[in-house]
Structure 1
C-alpha cells in the first residue's frame, strides 16, 4: 500500500491533469473503503454531494496550494490529504466513494509564505464542536458533512404574516428554558423552545426574534466572576465562527446532523402554531477578532478581502469587536447572499435581524455609501423577496442611521432607537417631550413618511442589551461589576428612573409606582403604530439586578425564571391581555400612516393638546370608521394629579373602561369592560387610561 502522504505528493506532481486514481484508506477505515479523486467543479462553493461523490470548492486568495484533509475524528490526524485543483482562485476536487458522514478541513499555503492548518470551510453546514455548553478544552472544530439531510416538514408552511400584524418576542434559545423551573426535557436547546410554545401562544406572540443561533464559541471570553471561581461566557453569541452552521450547543446530541434536524423541527413546530422565526445575524464582524488572534477561516482564506483594512493592513474596527467585515466586496457580498438564501430555502426561517447593520453600508475604505451594494443586493434578491429584513441601524463607529437605513425602497424595518428614547423620557417625566412622544407613537412619519410605512419602525422599550422593563423603573445607574470590567462596559445613557430608591427596596409606595410605570410603558407600546417588539422575561418583570450588558452572564440574570410567572401573575395577566387587545383592533395595526381625520389630540380639555405648553400630559382619540372600537388614551407623566375633561364618545356609542394603570390587578385591565360615565376624571400621578367606544 502506498502511504497517504507519499501518494498525496504524487497527485500534486500531476496537479494540472484531470485524474482518477484509487487508493486505500487501509487501517484508518474499518471497512477498508477506497475512493477516487477527480477535478470536479469550481462552481457552487462549499461541498455538494450526489449519488457518486462529493464536490469540494473553496475560494482562497493568493494561494500557492490548498490541501483537503479528511478525518474520522476531529482530534485525530487526517486519514487522507488531497491536494485540490485550481480554477482562478477557486480550489476544488470531486471525491468518489466517501463515507456518508465525514469530517474535513483545509490546509493552505499562501504565496507570501504564510501557512494555515485546519482552516474551516465558510460554507460548512455543521461543525464538529461539542454539544455540551461550557465544556472546557481547546475549541478547534472541523467541518462536518452528514448525508442525513432530508427532513419531513409535514407540509407545514410559514405563516407569512403581514408586517403590521407582528408582535415580536426577542428570545435567547438557551436562556428561554435553561432554568430548572422550565421543567422541559431539553433545557437550553432548540427542542426546549418547542415545549414552551403554549406560553408564546398564551402571551399572543406571533414572531420570535432569536439571538444568534449560528455557531459561536461561548468559551472565548476567558474571565472569571470577580472574586469568584465561576466562568464568564460569551452567552449572547455575537461572535460568529461559522455562518451556515446552527449552534451545536443548542442540540441534544453530538452528531453533527442532529443540530440541523432539531433546528428545523423547532422552526416547523413554531410555524405549525402560527409563529414566524426571525434570526439575528452578525455579518458586521467575525469571531476571528483582531489581527493578533489566529486565523481559522476568513483570515486564512483572504484576509484583505474579507475585512476592511487601512493602508498598513491593520483592521478598521467599526464594530467594537476587533474587525469589520468588508461586506461590499463582491466576493463577500455573494457569500452573505448565499448564507441568507440557505437559511430561507433549507432552514425555512422567515426573516433576519442584522446586528450593527450600518457597518454593512461602509465601502472597502470604511466610508458609508448611500447605495451599499450588499444591502441593495439583499433587498433585490428574488429568493429573499418575501422575508422580513430588520436592521439595527447603527454601528460602533458612530454611524447612526435610524430613519435613514436604505430608504430608497420600503423594504427594511429598523430598530427604532428614537422610539425607545422618546417613550422612556416622556413616561418618566422628562420635560419637552410631548411632541416627540406623539410623533413616535403615531408611527414616526417624520422618519418613514417618504415612501415608507409605520411598519418600517420596530418599536421597543427594552431589548437584550440594556435594562429590562423592571430594571428601567428600578435603577438610575447600571451595575455591571459582575462582568469583570470594573463597570466600564454598558451604556451610561439609560433614560431610566428608579422611582425614589436605587435597586431593591421594601418601600411599598415605590414598589407600587414601579408597577404602575411598567404598566404605562407596556400600554403605550401596544397602542403605538408600527411593529412592537418585546423582551423575553418582561412579561413577568424579570430583573438583571441593574446589569445592562449581560452578554457574558450564563445564569439567572439572563435565564427566564418560569417560577416567577406564578409570583408575578397579576402583571403577566395585564401584559398578555394588552397584546391580545392589540391583535383584536386593526386600527392599532395600520400599514399606512394616520391621516389628520384618523386621530384627535387632546390636552386636559378635548381638542386642545397645547403643544406649545410644556406639560407632561397628552391624550388622543384614535378613530374607527365604524364608530364602535374608537379608542381614547390619556397619559399623565407628571408627579401630581390632573383633572381631565373626557371628550364625548362617537355618536350612538358610550365609553367603556379598558385600562387604568393606577389600579391594581384585576382592575388595571378589565376583561369585561364597564361603562365610563364621567365627564371629568382626576388622573393620579404617573398613570394612564384607555377607553373604548361600544
Structure 2
C-alpha cells in the first residue's frame, strides 16, 4: 500500500477508481492526522489494512491504494483536539463515513458505541466502534443509459406525485415479492402503467439518500420511515434496493430512473441537506462531527463556548455557507443529475440551506447564488420547502429567487379552510386559486412559482382530511403530542370510519371538490400518492415512524369512483390550456370574445364587488375564465344549494364539464345544453365547471 497519490490533476473529495487502484480523499481543516481503514468485503467487521493519509491542498487528505476494486469497504479515523467548547470533536476511536461515499454498508443503531463523547460531551468516547460502524463502499459507476435523456417537462405541464419508494409497492400484487418496496419495484411495468394511466408526470420520491434510524424510535420498535435523517448524500438507501452488492444497488437505482424516463415520467428527489443524523452533542459520531465539526455545522460561539444552532429541530444544521459543506451539497446535487439522471429536487427545510455566513436567510446566499449560476443545477426542477423553525425569518414563502418553485403552505391552508366552511375564507381562497400573486409577484416571480398542494406525506391524507377533526397519533408512542394541531380538517359529523351514507357522501363530495380546485388553480399541482384511491392513515397526521400497513399503499382496496374522477380531472387540465396558465390574471379584455381573462360573478351573474369578497358569510361565487373554450367555475362551500344565473342570453349555450356533487363527478359528452339566463342549481360543498359551447358569454353590469 502507498500513501502517494498516483492520479494526475487536482485531488477531489471521494474515491477515484482506476485500473491500478483507488485514490481516497477526504476533507478536514482542523485534523492533525487522518487514517484510511480498509475492511473485508466478506467480513465487514474485520479491518484488513490501515493507511496514513497525506494532507494536500484545500485541506484534502489523500491516499492512493493499489489493487483496490469496486466493493472495497472503508472508513476514516480523524485525529485532532477534543475541545467541544470550540466545536472540535476529534476521536480516532470512531470510524467515520466518507461524506462522498457512493454506497454505504451496515446497520448501526446509534447506541453508546457510536457516540463520540460521554455525558454532555466533555470526554471523548473510549469505545472503538470500528467493527460495527457503518462502512463506505467503493462503487463501479459505469452504466449503459441506452440513450436516456431527461424529459425536461415545462412547469405548466407538470403534475407532481409524491410517493415513498418502499411504501408505494410494498403491497403491490403485480410486483414480484422480491422486488416489492424497492427501486426495481418502482420501475416495474405494472407500476409505471398505473402512473401513466393516472396522468401524473413527475414522481417526487421521499428521501432516498442513505439514512439512519433514530435510537429513540428503535427503542419503541419504530423506525424513521420517511428517511429525513441523512448520513449519505451520494448513496442510495440500501434498504430500498433488491440487490445486496453496493455497486448493484447503485445500478438498480439507475435502472429505475431509465425505466421511468422511457415512460416520460420525471424523477424528483426529496433531499435533506439542512441537517444530518448526527443530531446534537448527544448524538452519534458518524461523519461530519468526527471529520471537522466546526466546518460542517452551524454553531454559536461566545464566552460560554460553542453550541449547535438547531434551526431544523433535529439537533444540528449543516453550514451551507462554508466552502467544504457548500461544495459537498453542490457536488451531491450534480452527481444525482449527471450520474443518476434525476430531473430535480425538493429541498427539505430549504431556508436552512439558504442561510448565509451570519445564519440569516438571504436570497443571495452562497448556496442560492451558486445554484443560480451552475450550468447543470440551474436547468433542473428546484422546489423549496420555504421554511425552517425557531427563527424570526424562518417562514419564507415567496422569498426564494428564480428559478425556484416553492411549496405553498398558504395555498394548502386557504383551500382547506374554504372547503371546511370557515367564515371569512373566501377572499384568501380566491388569491390562492389565482396563483398567489400577492405572495410571488412582488419579487417578479412568475405565476408558476407556486407548488399547490392540499396534502403531503407530512399531515393527513385527503380522505382523513375530511374524516377527522383531530389528529390521532397514538401509534407513534408520544401520547398524541406530536404532529400539527392546526389541520383545518373536518369530520363531516362522525370522527373516523362510519357507515352513515350521508356522511360518506359528503366526504366523497368534498374530496372531489378539493381535487378539482387543485387541478383548476394557477400553479403546479402536487398530489400525495394514494389520495386518488382513498388511502387512510386512520387519522395519524405524522406517520414518519410507521413503516407498516398504516403508511404503505394498500392496493387491495380502492375508491374506484375517486380514482376515476382524479384521472379525468387530470386529463381535463391537460386538455384545456386555460387551466395551465403561465401568467397571472390581469383583467385585460379579449376583444375577440369580449371577456376578461377572469370575471368574478355573483349568483345573479353580475360582477362581484370588491367589498363583497370580505363578507365573512360569503360562501358562493363564480369565476368566468376566458379561453378556448371559456370556462365557468361555480364554487359553493356552503351547507345549502345555491342558484346561479348563467351568463349570456338564450343564444348562449353552456354544458356541464364536471359537477363534484355527482358520484362520478363527470357527465357524458352528450349531456344536455343549458341556455344563458337560466338559473342553474349548484349543490352544497360543490364545485361545478361549465364550458361555453356557443354564443356570447355576456356578463352583468359593473359594480
**TM-score normalised by structure 1 residue count:** 0.89
Cα distance change, pair 609–184 in 1 and its aligned pair in 2 (3 A): farther
Does the CA contact (< 8 Å) of 2:397 and 2:439 recur in 1? yes
Tell me the alpha carbon deviations over residues 621-646 of structure 1, each in whole angstroms, 9 at most, x when there is no partner: 1111xxx4211111101111111111
Cα drift, residue 503 of structure 1: 1.2
Q: Tell whether 2:201 aligns with 1:206.
A: yes
Q: Does the residue aligned with 2:680 lie in a helix, a strand or coil?
A: strand
Does the CA contact (< 8 Å) of 1:308 and 1:365 recur in 2? no
Counterpart in 2 of 1:693? 692
Alignment of 1:193-272 (within 5 A): 193-195=186-188, 196-218=191-213, 220-223=215-218, 231-272=221-262
Q: CA RMSD in A?
A: 2.0
Cα distance change, pair 635–146 in 1 and its aligned pair in 2 (3 A): same
Q: Out of 419, 422, 433, which is 1:430 matched to? A: 422
Q: Tell whether 2:298 aligns with 1:308.
A: yes
Cα distance change, pair 285–563 in 1 and its aligned pair in 2 (3 A): same
**Structure 2 Cα separation of the partners of residues 691 and 396 of structure 1:** 43
Q: Tell whether 2:142 aligns with 1:150.
A: yes
**Structure 2 Cα separation of the partners of residues 51 and 143 of structure 1:** 20
Tell me the alpha carbon deviations over residues 441-500 of structure 1, each in whole angstroms, 9 at most, x when there is no partner: 111111122421121100000000011100110111101111001111001000111111
Alignment of 1:455-534 (within 5 A): 455-534=448-527
Counterpart in 1 of 2:399? 405
Tell me the alpha carbon deviations over residues 511-564 of structure 1, each in whole angstroms, 9 at most, x when there is no partner: 111111001000100000110000001011111111100000011221111112
Counterpart in 2 of 1:395? 388
Please identify, of 461-470 and 366-375, the stretch whose mean Cα deviation from structure 2 is larger: 366-375
Counterpart in 1 of 2:52? 83
Counterpart in 2 of 1:540? 533
Q: Does the residue aligned with 1:38 lie in a helix, a strand or coil?
A: coil
Counterpart in 2 of 1:575? 566
Q: Does the residue aligned with 2:378 lie in a helix, a strand or coil?
A: coil
Q: Tell whether 2:590 aligns with 1:600.
A: no
Cα distance change, pair 653–563 in 1 and its aligned pair in 2 (3 A): farther
Counterpart in 2 of 1:675? 672
Cα drift, residue 278 of structure 1: 0.4
Does the CA contact (< 8 Å) of 2:3 and 2:53 recur in 1? no
Does the CA contact (< 8 Å) of 1:600 and 1:607 recur in 2? no
Counterpart in 2 of 1:54? 22
Counterpart in 1 of 2:4? 38
Cα distance change, pair 434–99 in 1 and its aligned pair in 2 (3 A): closer
Cα distance change, pair 652–275 in 1 and its aligned pair in 2 (3 A): farther
Does the CA contact (< 8 Å) of 1:602 and 1:620 recur in 2? yes
Cα distance change, pair 187–377 in 1 and its aligned pair in 2 (3 A): same
Alignment of 1:86-105 (within 5 A): 86-88=55-57, 89-105=59-75
**Structure 2 Cα separation of the partners of residues 480 and 139 of structure 1:** 34
Q: Out of 332, 339, 343, which is 2:325 matched to? A: 332
Does the CA contact (< 8 Å) of 1:442 and 1:528 recur in 2? yes
Counterpart in 2 of 1:120? 97
Q: Out of 273, 281, 288, which is 1:291 matched to? A: 281
Counterpart in 1 of 2:629? 629
Tell me the alpha carbon deviations over residues 236-267 of structure 1, each in whole angstroms, 9 at most, x when there is no partner: 00000110000100111210011111111111
**Structure 1 Cα separation of the partners of residues 27 and 576 of structure 2:** 52
Cα distance change, pair 394–49 in 1 and its aligned pair in 2 (3 A): same
**Structure 1 Cα separation of the partners of residues 420 and 68 of structure 2:** 65
Tell me the alpha carbon deviations over residues 667-694 of structure 1, each in whole angstroms, 9 at most, x when there is no partner: x212525133151112221111111223
Structure 1 gaps of 5+ residues are 1-34, 132-136, 226-230
**Structure 1 Cα separation of the partners of residues 489 and 174 of structure 2:** 30
Q: Does the residue aligned with 1:56 lie in a helix, a strand or coil?
A: strand
Alignment of 1:336-355 (within 5 A): 336-355=329-348
Does the CA contact (< 8 Å) of 1:460 and 1:533 recur in 2? yes
Does the CA contact (< 8 Å) of 1:654 and 1:675 recur in 2? no
**Structure 1 Cα separation of the partners of residues 376 and 132 of structure 2:** 35
Counterpart in 2 of 1:179? 171
Counterpart in 2 of 1:654? 653
**Structure 2 Cα separation of the partners of residues 674 and 124 of structure 1:** 60
Does the CA contact (< 8 Å) of 1:175 and 1:560 recur in 2? yes
Cα drift, residue 418 of structure 1: 0.4
**Structure 1 Cα separation of the partners of residues 78 and 652 of structure 2:** 76
Cα drift, residue 306 of structure 1: 1.0
Tell me the alpha carbon deviations over residues 192-234 of structure 1, each in whole angstroms, 9 at most, x when there is no partner: 1112011100100110000000001246443566xxxxx2110
Does the CA contact (< 8 Å) of 1:435 and 1:611 recur in 2? no
**TM-score normalised by structure 2 residue count:** 0.88
